[in-house]
Structure 1
Protein backbone atom coordinates (compact mmCIF):
# COMPACT_ATOMS: atom_id res chain seq x y z
CA UNK A 1 0.00 0.00 0.00
CA UNK A 2 1.21 3.51 -0.79
CA UNK A 3 2.46 5.88 1.88
CA UNK A 4 0.38 8.56 0.11
CA UNK A 5 -3.25 7.35 0.15
CA UNK A 6 -6.33 9.16 -1.11
CA UNK A 7 -7.95 10.31 2.14
CA UNK A 8 -10.77 12.67 1.13
CA UNK A 9 -12.95 13.65 -1.82
CA UNK A 10 -14.48 17.01 -2.63
CA UNK A 11 -17.20 17.85 -5.11
CA UNK A 12 -18.92 21.10 -6.07
CA UNK A 13 -22.61 21.77 -5.63
CA UNK A 14 -25.07 24.28 -7.05
CA UNK A 15 -27.88 23.70 -4.55
CA UNK A 16 -26.86 22.55 -1.06
CA UNK A 17 -30.30 21.25 -0.10
CA UNK A 18 -30.77 19.32 -3.32
CA UNK A 19 -27.26 17.83 -3.08
CA UNK A 20 -27.75 16.81 0.55
CA UNK A 21 -31.10 15.18 -0.17
CA UNK A 22 -29.64 13.25 -3.10
CA UNK A 23 -26.64 11.76 -1.25
CA UNK A 24 -28.60 11.10 1.94
CA UNK A 25 -31.41 9.38 0.01
CA UNK A 26 -29.41 7.56 -2.66
CA UNK A 27 -26.52 6.37 -0.49
CA UNK A 28 -27.49 6.92 3.14
CA UNK A 29 -24.63 9.35 3.73
CA UNK A 30 -24.74 11.84 6.60
CA UNK A 31 -24.17 15.42 5.47
CA UNK A 32 -23.22 18.19 7.87
CA UNK A 33 -23.42 21.81 6.65
CA UNK A 34 -20.73 23.97 8.28
CA UNK A 35 -22.33 27.31 7.44
CA UNK A 36 -21.14 30.56 5.87
CA UNK A 37 -18.30 30.98 8.37
CA UNK A 38 -16.73 27.86 6.76
CA UNK A 39 -17.50 28.83 3.16
CA UNK A 40 -20.79 26.87 3.13
CA UNK A 41 -18.78 23.64 3.07
CA UNK A 42 -20.78 20.47 3.69
CA UNK A 43 -19.02 17.49 5.26
CA UNK A 44 -20.05 14.14 3.79
CA UNK A 45 -19.74 11.06 5.94
CA UNK A 46 -19.76 8.33 3.32
CA UNK A 47 -18.21 5.77 5.67
CA UNK A 48 -18.70 4.91 9.33
CA UNK A 49 -16.72 7.20 11.63
CA UNK A 50 -15.55 7.09 15.22
CA UNK A 51 -15.94 9.79 17.88
CA UNK A 52 -13.00 11.68 16.32
CA UNK A 53 -14.80 11.67 12.92
CA UNK A 54 -12.17 9.31 11.50
CA UNK A 55 -13.25 6.42 9.28
CA UNK A 56 -13.37 3.04 11.01
CA UNK A 57 -13.03 0.85 7.91
CA UNK A 58 -9.55 0.56 6.40
CA UNK A 59 -9.42 2.08 2.92
CA UNK A 60 -12.70 3.99 3.28
CA UNK A 61 -12.79 7.78 2.91
CA UNK A 62 -15.19 10.59 3.65
CA UNK A 63 -15.39 13.90 1.88
CA UNK A 64 -17.23 17.11 1.41
CA UNK A 65 -18.98 19.51 -0.91
CA UNK A 66 -18.41 23.22 -1.55
CA UNK A 67 -20.32 25.75 -3.64
CA UNK A 68 -19.49 25.55 -7.35
CA UNK A 69 -17.31 28.43 -8.56
CA UNK A 70 -14.73 29.17 -11.24
CA UNK A 71 -12.08 27.70 -8.93
CA UNK A 72 -14.27 24.81 -7.76
CA UNK A 73 -15.91 23.24 -10.78
CA UNK A 74 -14.89 19.57 -10.59
CA UNK A 75 -14.41 16.59 -8.33
CA UNK A 76 -11.18 16.70 -6.34
CA UNK A 77 -9.28 13.88 -4.62
CA UNK A 78 -7.05 14.66 -1.63
CA UNK A 79 -3.80 12.75 -1.16
CA UNK A 80 -2.20 12.59 2.31
CA UNK A 81 1.56 13.19 2.44
CA UNK A 82 4.06 13.27 5.28
CA UNK A 83 5.89 16.38 4.00
CA UNK A 84 3.95 18.79 1.80
CA UNK A 85 7.04 20.72 0.64
CA UNK A 86 8.69 17.52 -0.56
CA UNK A 87 5.46 16.28 -2.18
CA UNK A 88 5.10 19.61 -4.02
CA UNK A 89 8.66 19.25 -5.33
CA UNK A 90 7.93 15.65 -6.36
CA UNK A 91 4.77 16.72 -8.22
CA UNK A 92 6.70 19.36 -10.15
CA UNK A 93 9.63 17.00 -10.85
CA UNK A 94 7.15 14.49 -12.31
CA UNK A 95 5.68 17.12 -14.66
CA UNK A 96 2.74 18.35 -12.59
CA UNK A 97 2.00 21.92 -11.53
CA UNK A 98 1.46 23.10 -7.97
CA UNK A 99 -1.29 25.73 -7.81
CA UNK A 100 -0.25 28.30 -5.21
CA UNK A 101 1.13 28.00 -1.73
CA UNK A 102 -0.13 25.64 0.97
CA UNK A 103 -2.82 26.99 3.28
CA UNK A 104 -3.44 25.83 6.82
CA UNK A 105 -6.84 24.37 7.59
CA UNK A 106 -7.24 24.66 11.35
CA UNK A 107 -7.20 21.27 13.02
CA UNK A 108 -6.72 19.49 9.69
CA UNK A 109 -3.32 20.41 8.23
CA UNK A 110 -1.55 22.06 5.29
CA UNK A 111 -3.40 21.86 1.96
CA UNK A 112 -2.56 22.80 -1.63
CA UNK A 113 -4.02 22.04 -5.08
CA UNK A 114 -2.01 20.71 -8.00
CA UNK A 115 -2.60 19.44 -11.52
CA UNK A 116 -1.16 16.23 -12.89
CA UNK A 117 0.24 15.76 -16.38
CA UNK A 118 -3.28 15.08 -17.71
CA UNK A 119 -4.79 18.32 -16.41
CA UNK A 120 -6.62 16.69 -13.49
CA UNK A 121 -6.79 18.87 -10.38
CA UNK A 122 -6.05 17.14 -7.07
CA UNK A 123 -4.83 18.23 -3.66
CA UNK A 124 -2.07 17.41 -1.21
CA UNK A 125 -2.70 17.34 2.53
CA UNK A 126 -0.06 17.19 5.25
CA UNK A 127 -2.29 16.25 8.19
CA UNK A 128 -1.82 17.89 11.55
CA UNK A 129 -0.24 15.33 13.85
Structure 2
Protein backbone atom coordinates (compact mmCIF):
# COMPACT_ATOMS: atom_id res chain seq x y z
CA UNK A 1 0.00 0.00 0.00
CA UNK A 2 1.37 3.39 -0.90
CA UNK A 3 1.03 6.41 1.33
CA UNK A 4 1.16 4.90 4.79
CA UNK A 5 3.75 6.23 7.22
CA UNK A 6 6.39 3.57 7.74
CA UNK A 7 9.43 5.31 9.27
CA UNK A 8 10.41 8.46 11.12
CA UNK A 9 13.61 10.12 12.27
CA UNK A 10 14.03 12.36 15.29
CA UNK A 11 17.01 14.72 14.90
CA UNK A 12 19.07 15.59 17.97
CA UNK A 13 22.09 17.74 18.74
CA UNK A 14 23.13 15.07 21.25
CA UNK A 15 21.88 11.61 20.26
CA UNK A 16 22.97 10.02 23.56
CA UNK A 17 20.90 12.54 25.49
CA UNK A 18 17.93 12.04 23.13
CA UNK A 19 18.16 8.27 23.50
CA UNK A 20 18.13 8.63 27.30
CA UNK A 21 15.14 10.98 27.12
CA UNK A 22 13.03 8.68 24.91
CA UNK A 23 14.10 5.63 26.90
CA UNK A 24 12.72 7.40 29.97
CA UNK A 25 9.48 8.45 28.28
CA UNK A 26 8.70 5.35 26.17
CA UNK A 27 11.22 2.71 27.27
CA UNK A 28 12.79 2.75 23.81
CA UNK A 29 15.99 0.84 23.22
CA UNK A 30 18.15 1.49 20.18
CA UNK A 31 20.73 -0.23 18.05
CA UNK A 32 23.59 1.66 16.42
CA UNK A 33 23.54 1.66 12.62
CA UNK A 34 26.36 3.61 11.07
CA UNK A 35 28.32 6.27 12.88
CA UNK A 36 25.60 7.99 14.98
CA UNK A 37 22.25 6.68 13.69
CA UNK A 38 20.23 4.81 16.32
CA UNK A 39 17.38 2.53 15.20
CA UNK A 40 14.58 2.02 17.71
CA UNK A 41 14.41 -1.71 18.42
CA UNK A 42 11.41 -2.07 20.72
CA UNK A 43 8.89 0.56 19.69
CA UNK A 44 7.79 2.67 16.77
CA UNK A 45 9.55 2.12 13.43
CA UNK A 46 12.11 4.89 13.41
CA UNK A 47 15.45 6.23 14.53
CA UNK A 48 17.25 8.97 16.42
CA UNK A 49 19.73 10.74 14.16
CA UNK A 50 22.15 13.65 14.37
CA UNK A 51 20.65 17.05 13.66
CA UNK A 52 22.15 19.01 10.78
CA UNK A 53 21.22 22.01 8.64
CA UNK A 54 18.95 19.90 6.42
CA UNK A 55 17.42 17.85 9.22
CA UNK A 56 16.25 20.04 12.08
CA UNK A 57 12.70 18.73 12.57
CA UNK A 58 11.22 15.23 12.78
CA UNK A 59 11.07 13.58 9.36
CA UNK A 60 8.33 11.16 8.33
CA UNK A 61 8.70 8.66 5.50
CA UNK A 62 5.74 7.49 3.43
CA UNK A 63 5.78 4.15 1.62
CA UNK A 64 5.60 4.08 -2.16
CA UNK A 65 5.76 1.18 -4.57
CA UNK A 66 7.20 3.39 -7.35
CA UNK A 67 9.40 6.21 -6.09
CA UNK A 68 10.09 7.57 -9.58
CA UNK A 69 6.36 7.99 -10.27
CA UNK A 70 5.85 9.48 -6.81
CA UNK A 71 8.54 12.18 -7.20
CA UNK A 72 7.12 13.06 -10.62
CA UNK A 73 3.68 13.47 -9.04
CA UNK A 74 5.17 15.63 -6.25
CA UNK A 75 6.61 17.97 -8.89
CA UNK A 76 3.41 17.96 -11.00
CA UNK A 77 1.40 19.06 -7.97
CA UNK A 78 3.74 21.95 -7.12
CA UNK A 79 5.95 20.25 -4.55
CA UNK A 80 9.71 19.81 -4.59
CA UNK A 81 11.95 16.78 -4.24
CA UNK A 82 15.61 16.01 -3.89
CA UNK A 83 17.44 13.34 -5.85
CA UNK A 84 16.29 9.74 -5.31
CA UNK A 85 18.96 8.01 -3.21
CA UNK A 86 19.66 4.31 -2.86
CA UNK A 87 20.24 3.05 0.68
CA UNK A 88 22.19 -0.23 0.41
CA UNK A 89 20.28 -3.31 1.55
CA UNK A 90 17.24 -1.13 2.37
CA UNK A 91 15.65 0.56 -0.63
CA UNK A 92 15.37 4.03 -2.12
CA UNK A 93 14.41 7.35 -0.53
CA UNK A 94 13.67 10.91 -1.63
CA UNK A 95 13.28 13.95 0.61
CA UNK A 96 10.42 16.15 -0.54
CA UNK A 97 8.25 19.13 0.37
CA UNK A 98 4.59 19.60 -0.47
CA UNK A 99 3.21 22.63 -2.31
CA UNK A 100 3.17 24.60 0.97
CA UNK A 101 6.73 23.72 1.94
CA UNK A 102 5.97 21.01 4.52
CA UNK A 103 8.79 18.45 4.43
CA UNK A 104 8.26 14.70 4.11
CA UNK A 105 10.16 11.80 2.60
CA UNK A 106 9.32 8.87 0.35
CA UNK A 107 10.55 5.32 0.83
CA UNK A 108 10.46 2.48 -1.67
CA UNK A 109 11.60 -0.78 -0.06
CA UNK A 110 14.20 -2.92 -1.78
CA UNK A 111 12.56 -5.75 -3.68
TM-score by length of 1: 0.79
* Residue segments in structure 1 that go unaligned for 5+ positions in a row: 48-60
Query: How many Å apart are 1:104 and its aligned residue?
Result: 0.8
Q: What secondary structure sits across from 1:73 in the alignment?
A: coil
Aligned pairs for 1:1-129 within 5 A: 3-36=2-35, 40-45=36-41, 47=43, 61-99=44-82, 101-129=83-111
**Per-residue deviation at 1:112?**
0.8
- Deviation, structure 1 residue 118: 2.1
Task: Encode CA deviations 1:61-85: one digit per residue, 9 max, x unaligned.
Answer: 4101211111111111001100010
User: Matched residues in 1 for 2:46 and 2:61: separation?
Assistant: 9
Note the C-alpha offset of 1:107.
Answer: 1.4
**Contact 2:6 2:61 (C-alpha < 8 Å) held by counterparts:** yes
Structure 2: state its 5+ residue gaps: none
1:88–1:35 distance in 2 versus 1, CA, 3 Å: closer
Deviation at 1:124, TM superposition (A): 0.7
Matched-pair contact (CA < 8 Å) for 1:107–1:128 = yes
Aligned length: 111
- Runs of 4+ with deviation above 4 angstroms: none
| RMSD of aligned residue pairs (Cα, Å) | 1.4
Alignment partners' CA distance in 1, 2:102 and 2:41:
24
